[in-house]
Amino acid sequence: MIERDQQSDAFSLQLRQSQERARLAPRSLQSDAVEVLHREQRARQQALHQEQLRQLSQPRPAGGPEARAGEREHFARERRAQALEFEAEERSAVIEAPRRWTPTLEPAPRAWTPTLDGSPATP
């Protein structure tokens, strides 16, 4: 059951990373940095999963099904905490490029001279 949860978490991470890559311009410096971040996240996720499987394979004191349920909940909390950490890292790593400011060209103002009668003088 733990392995199934781990596979589900791995799929969720890959999906989120794919969506993030799709939003970035291809071959930009930012997309390269995000790709490095994604690789590091996948490696850390895999390390956590391996550690959890190693802990499961170790002999444990008799505690019955309640102990196993508590262990599963503990592992699930660890994976959720890691997923939240990954999301925070991605938000801080992906900085949208500012939109370019393009000045608008207005027509040159017409020259006018105020007159005493209130109508503008034309040149």
**Tens-place pLDDT, residues 100-118:** 666 677 777 777 777 777 6
Share above pLDDT 70 across residues of the chain, in percent, rounded to a whole number: 73
Instruction: Supply the pLDDT for residue 47.
Output: 92
Instruction: Supply the pLDDT for residue 93.
Output: 62
Arithmetic mean of pLDDT, 2-11: 85
Tens digits of residue pLDDT in 10-46 = 888 888 888 887 777 666 667 777 888 888 999 999 9
* CB burial of residue 33 (10 Å; 0-12, 13-18, 19+): middle
Instruction: Supply the pLDDT for residue 43.
Output: 92
Instruction: Supply the pLDDT for residue 87.
Output: 82
Tens digits of residue pLDDT in 43-85 = 999 999 899 888 888 777 666 667 777 888 888 889 888 888 8
Query: Given a cut of 70, is residue 95 above it in pLDDT?
Result: no
